[in-house]
Amino acid sequence: MRAVVQRVSRASVRVARQTVGAIERGFLVLLGVTHADGRAEADWLARKIAGLRVFEDGEGKMNLGLAEVCGAVLVVSQFTLYGDARRGRRPSFIAAARPEQAEPLVDYFAAQLRALGLPVETGRFGAAMEVELVNDGPMTLLLDTSSTSTSAEPPSGPLSRDAGR
């Protein structure tokens, strides 16, 4: 799985001019799924994102997580994260998982974030979406489960201000 994680002051997604998901402070996660992905990758990525400490504390240091700032997550499926434009002028999307594999994993990923106690909004899988955001920082991370071992688990447990200190 690939995720572009953007710290936002607000973000929303619309389908056919109707807002289907919106958050204030938190993360916009653009999520791509490839053929080899399964629940283990979704679990790892959800825990990693939920545990990121990229919000400023009282001293201006990126030391706080989503739960500590009462943040939310907007998850938007984006198969184009697996686009390959190395050859030619039109990208190939052969590395992206087919919808029947990707959609349940995107839903599972969002459910795992909710299970970690985070408010989660989503786009609409397969729809033409308009995503609007205000990137806070800017602070953007690219996470890719293929470049890590999902057996190297990110910290688990409650996401509280005292966790990880």
Question: Is residue 63 helix, strand or coil?
Answer: strand
CB neighbour list of residue 153: distance below 8 Å, 6 or more residues apart: 44, 47
Q: Among the options 6, 78, 112, 150, which is catalytic?
A: 78
Residues 6+ apart with CB under 8 A from 148: 44
* Residue 142: how many other CB atoms lie within 10 Å: 11
Catalytic, 79? Answer yes
Active site residue 6: no
Catalytic residue among 6, 79, 109, 122: 79
The question of whether 80 is a catalytic residue gets the answer yes
Residues linked to residue 55 through DSSP beta bridges, in sequence order: 64
- Give the whole-angstrom CA distance, residue 102 versus residue 34: 8
The pairs formed by 146-154 with CB atoms below 8 angstroms and a separation of 24 or more are 146/2, 146/34, 146/36, 148/44, 150/40, 150/41, 150/43, 150/44, 153/44, 153/47, 154/44, 154/47, 154/48, 154/51
- Residues with a catalytic annotation lie at 78-80
